[in-house]
Amino acid sequence: MAKTPKPDELSKIDYTPPQTAWTETPTVYKEGVWCFGAKPKNLETLHFPNPREWRVVDEDWKLPENWQEIVLNGMKERLDKYRSFRVFMDSCVRCGACADKCHFFIGSGDPKNMPVLRAELLRSVYRGNFTLAGKILGKINGARPLTLEVLKEWWYYFFQCTECRRCSVFCPYGIDTAEITMMGRELLNLLGLNIDWIAGPAANCYMKGNHLGLEPHTIVGNLEYMLDDIETVTGIKITPSFNRKGAEILFVTPSGDLFADPGTYTCMGYLMLLHELGLDYTWSTYASEGGNFGFFTSNELAKRLNSKIYAEAKRLGVKWILGGECGHMWRVLNQYMDTWNGPADFLEVPKSPITGTVFENAKSTKMVHIAEFTADLIKHGKLKLDKKRNDNLKVTFHDSCNTSRGMGLFEEPRYIIDNVCNNFYEMDELTTREKTFCCGSGSGLNAGENMELRMRGGLPRANAVKDVAEKYGVNMLANVCAIDRAVLTASMDYWVPSVKVTGVHELVANALIMKGEKERTTNLRGEPLPGMEGQE
Amino acid sequence: MYNGGKIIVGLIIFVGLFTFPIFYNMGKTAEAPKPNIDTPEINKMEKKQCVESKEWMKANHMQMLDQWRDSVLRDGNLEYVSSTDGKKYIMSLQNTCMRCHSNKKEFCDKCHTYANVTPYCWTCHIAPKEKEI
Amino acid sequence: MNAILSLIAVAGLALIAYIGVSAAGLQFLFGVVVPYVALAVFLIGVISRVVKWGRTPVPFRIPTTCGQQQSFPWIKQAKFDNPSTGGGVIVRMLLEVFLFRSLFSNVKFELREGPKLAYSSAKWLWLGGLAFHWTFFIVLIRHLRLFTDPVPGFLKGIEALDGFLQVGIPGIMISGVVLLGAVTYLFLRRVLIPNVRYISLAADYFPLFLIMGVALSGILMRYVLRVDIVGVKKLTMGLMTFSPGLPEGISVVFYIHLFLVSTLFAYIPFSKIMHLGGVFLSPTRNLANNSRMVRHINPWNYPVDVHTYEEYENDFREKMKKAGIPVEKE
């Protein structure tokens, strides 16, 4: 594996484009940037075409004989199915407003990471094969034939886009590179050209219900570890239920929260909050994944993986679904789930049993974000909170791409943080809310072998954190996304080592005064609470 | 079509905007106005000749008037020598031009209205009295 | 290279019109046939492109949300940047189409020592783009004086505003000057900003030069070479009333202007200028973010292979029982 350069080395970035036109500049496949190709067993599990052993560095990618035909037919099919694709192919004027909005461009200086050029990679082939002017004028009109070099370039650059949609905020026509990348990845998947970091979790999720491949007993076991820790901290024994029929609410969260720090602390937060409320809810081991790596592969696979949530809600006979903190999970739930697998007419319009609030904004999909749920609780004064327990923290909040630009969840998490922490500082407003920067590793790019790419892509976010760390002494980066919790930890270690990462519900749980709890001396991480140092 | 209604309304507006002149002018002919030179002064002339040639005047009269104004008001120079025949004229809109072209409505306004031109001569100058037509 | 190619193409077009009219005497071709053909290509081309877009479904509701969603009454929703109703979408679209709201929010960055990334607002592109589009529109509207008889009253008002400086004879129209300035700016930024130059194709320079040519020939006609405007209007009115005629004595510069305009219009349906229609049909802008409230229907939604709960339980029944998880079949 390539060694990741040191931060001072990595931050020397040259933004001067090459002398040669981009169409004439051969792509250099840098180790540390690309991810390993999908393994045959994962593609087989998913019934995807062309499963085989292959290596990125090999000349021969073992493509089917008629791969061009497959890709061009696939393109035609998608042009006829997605207005977004067709309009975005036709409308770009190359004004360049998007060019410097991509975190990968800012972090790498590679001009093909400018969203406009990423789209041109596809658009050039579109022009050559699907437009009159492109067919007649060819190269003059910016058309390119679909060669193996072009295909490999697609693969390289469509797996250097995290589908964060930041560029689409600034585009005067709303051209969304996420759509372009999705189409590009769908086409690549027709030839078995996925990356294994996506195909693996997707295959796991398909067979075992979650990306990490946690089997049912492991899920229970993992949660039991957390429950023990909760008991140690609070003295309260929590006994959640699994796959319980007749529960009022099904709780679904990304499996990352069940597996590794600091996601597990967030998960402990859910457990404590839901227990304290006495909520009639259940976990599911079958629908044990809120996230959706199928979404990073193809529309069809995304739908296949997502189907489990409604299916399980129906089987268990719950009234509505509560969703944990996750980014792309909420893009999918907000913009896709109901369309794919609805109508959810077997569920009821979500109503908080604690406050009586009816979640009108989720009346069709019947799924509520836990930040909405908790903000409502706090607004109605249903939680006893001791903010001082978080006084050792100076918190800033990272808006996740998907909840920001695919949903608009801005105030709910901030309201919660404001009510559980005394020290909250915003980052530069040009890097938050709808202008937020990606963590650098979204859309399935949180592998290990592409660490250089991840650190480059993570630079803009990390740099804004560094700014508030220096200005206000911020030492905790809160967020509402499982991938953020995993990858921002790495990115902070690399760029801003003084800052740790947390989910919002970890902060809630630390501040939450539970009925019958013992005097807490530590937070969920086992660190002494402010004023309790030396008590343990 | 998907969202066909909205798209068709949009297209109708689009086509309507770009073909507006066709509908607006429907049933009309493309007759351009001819400036009328049937005035007593001009009829008296043996050779009907303006200060310069007709073609030149057609394209440049506005600039000539502009220069005349500057010449008279700023330099006090009232004499204009025709480049066509060397004849001398007094530079004056009211006393030279309008003496012959005493029919402003039929001579000036016809083309100006046709081409949607609004000269500001008459904000200072007094237009010749004409019978209402 | 792309720029030079485009410049040559536009110069060539002007030359074709010049030779065609002044040497070959093809006034009828350039004054009547070409404009009619161009108008037809433009209208049919644009309609068929839009219809093609329209026939493509919008499978998912994917607005780019640029503000707070609708959630609780006590949280203020960004009604236009994250609309949840049709009315909100209309306002969002109007702001986008008329004021280029997305471009207005443009930001640039700078990498300083440290590393330190500094961001700041960048409004020049917005300003240049807005100036270009609005003046182009006003100039287009002003041309109606040559296409209508009698001239509608509102044109007088527009001309009076546009020419309020009262400089020169005929009076300078601000829109024409700003248009030429804006199009020059758009060209210069393409050439001078390295990244923008890098992404620019011939198809980006060509329309700029074409519009520059149109504006220049127009300005030349009005202020310098002085075309017989009554003759010109006679020709255009002839076209509009389908009784085309060729008045004598119209200068060749008019035919060059007309040919460049015709080329521009005929070129539109095949080019990026179709963004004028695309902006209305962009699913990230023209949809309300209400997909959790109202189910969005995908017309081609089809059943997919799923791994059912039954299959899952079959895989893990014993493990589930051991872990105390309820199962359907014992």
pLDDT digits (tens, 9 = 90+) for B99-117: 899 888 889 998 898 988 8
Model confidence pLDDT, tens digit, residues B17-55: 999 999 999 887 767 888 888 888 899 888 888 999 988
Beta bridge partners of A368: A322
Q: How many domains does chain A have?
A: 2
Q: Where are the alpha helices (DSSP H) in chain C?
A: 2-18, 27-28, 34-54, 86-99, 101-104, 124-142, 153-162, 174-192, 194-199, 202-219, 229-240, 252-267, 275-278, 309-322
State the amino acid at position C172 in one-letter form.
Answer: I
Say yes or no for a CB contact (<8 Å) between C155 and B116: yes
Shared domain check, A256 and A140: no
For residues A198 and A38, is the Cβ–Cβ distance under 8 A?
yes
Chain A residues within an 8 Å CB radius of C196:
94-96, 99
Shared domain check, A281 and A327: yes
Interface of C with B in 6-35 (CB under 8 A): none
Q: With respect to residue B128, please indicate whether it lies within any of the assigned structural domains.
A: no
Which residue in the set C109, C271, C307 is minimally distant from A106, CB to CB? Answer: C109
Higher pLDDT, A70 or B62: A70
What is the number of residues in chain B? 133
Which domain-ending residue is among A144, A175, A199? A199
Chain B residues within an 8 Å CB radius of C46:
14
Q: With respect to residue B130, please indicate whether it lies within any of the assigned structural domains.
A: no
Q: With respect to residue A10, please indicate whether it lies within any of the assigned structural domains.
A: no
Q: With respect to residue A188, please indicate whether it lies within any of the assigned structural domains.
A: yes
Say yes or no for a CB contact (<8 Å) between C241 and B11: no
Distance between CA atoms of residues A55 and A5, nearest Å:
23
Which residue in the set B21, B115, B118 is minimally distant from C230, CB to CB? Answer: B115
The whole-number pLDDT of residue B132 equals 53
Which residues in chain A show pLDDT less than 70?
A: 1, 535-536
| Residue A59: other Cβ atoms inside 10 A | 7
For residues A484 and A438, is the Cβ–Cβ distance under 8 A?
no
Beta bridge partners of A479: A398, A503
Q: With respect to residue A274, please indicate whether it lies within any of the assigned structural domains.
A: yes
- Closest residue of A to C99, CA-based? A172
| Residue B102: other Cβ atoms inside 10 A | 16
Distance between CA atoms of residues A123 and A387, nearest Å:
52
Q: Which of C246, C234, C260, C250 is nearest to C32 (CA)?
A: C246
**Nearest CA-CA distance, residue B81 and chain C, Å:** 21
Q: How many domains does chain B have?
A: 1
The whole-number pLDDT of residue B84 equals 86
Q: What is the DSSP letter of A295?
A: G
Q: Is C251 left (phi over 0), alpha (psi -120 to 50) or beta?
A: beta
Task: Give residue B70's domain range.
Answer: 4-123
Q: With respect to residue A15, please indicate whether it lies within any of the assigned structural domains.
A: no
For residues A425 and A468, is the Cβ–Cβ distance under 8 A?
yes
Q: Which of B117, B118, B116, B61 is nearest to B93 (CA)?
A: B61
Does the pLDDT at position B79 exceed 50? Answer: yes
Q: With respect to residue A526, please indicate whether it lies within any of the assigned structural domains.
A: no
Chain A interface mutation, best of C56, C65, C191, C279, highest count of A Cβ atoms under 10 Å: C65
Chain A residues within an 8 Å CB radius of C109:
100, 106, 460
**Nearest CA-CA distance, residue C239 and chain A, Å:** 29
Q: With respect to residue B131, please indicate whether it lies within any of the assigned structural domains.
A: no
Q: What six digits make up the tokens of C53?
A: 């877009």
For residues C173 and C160, is the Cβ–Cβ distance under 8 A?
no
Distance between CA atoms of residues C72 and A359, nearest Å:
8
Shared domain check, A224 and A108: no
Shared domain check, A157 and A30: yes
ipTM over 0.90: yes
Which residues in chain C show pLDDT less than 70?
A: none
Higher pLDDT, B122 or A429: A429
Three-state secondary structure call for residue C108? strand
Distance between CA atoms of residues A465 and A474, nearest Å:
8
In the Cβ-directed half-sphere of A525, how many Cα atoms lie within 13 Å? 18
Chain C interface mutation, best of A112, A173, A352, highest count of C Cβ atoms under 10 Å: A173
Shared domain check, A297 and A227: yes
Q: With respect to residue A191, please indicate whether it lies within any of the assigned structural domains.
A: yes
Q: With respect to residue B129, please indicate whether it lies within any of the assigned structural domains.
A: no
Q: Which of A297, A214, A287, A216 is nearest to A252 (CA)?
A: A287
Q: Where are the alpha helices (DSSP H) in A476-519?
A: 482-495, 504-511
Chain A interface mutation, best of C94, C121, C198, C290, highest count of A Cβ atoms under 10 Å: C198
Cis previous bond, A64, omega within 30: no
Q: Give, in order, the Cα–Cα distances in Å from B4 to each of A360, B12, C50.
A: 29, 12, 11
For residues A56 and A34, is the Cβ–Cβ distance under 8 A?
yes
Interface of C with B in 262-291 (CB under 8 A): 277, 280-281
* Kind and range of the H or E run holding A106: helix A103-108
The whole-number pLDDT of residue C222 equals 87
Say yes or no for a CB contact (<8 Å) between A435 and C105: yes
For residues B51 and B82, is the Cβ–Cβ distance under 8 A?
yes
Q: With respect to residue B12, please indicate whether it lies within any of the assigned structural domains.
A: yes
Q: DSSP secondary structure string, A139-162? A: GGGT-----HHHHHHHHHHHTS--
Task: Give residue A303's domain range.
Answer: 209-511
Shared domain check, A415 and A376: yes
The whole-number pLDDT of residue B133 equals 47
Q: What is the DSSP letter of A291?
A: S
The whole-number pLDDT of residue A502 equals 98
Distance between CA atoms of residues C82 and C75, nearest Å:
13
In chain C, what are the domains? 2-299 (1.20.950.20)
For residues C132 and A208, is the Cβ–Cβ distance under 8 A?
no
Q: Which of A229, A234, A534 is nearest to A386 (CA)?
A: A234
Q: With respect to residue B67, please indicate whether it lies within any of the assigned structural domains.
A: yes
Q: With respect to residue A13, please indicate whether it lies within any of the assigned structural domains.
A: no
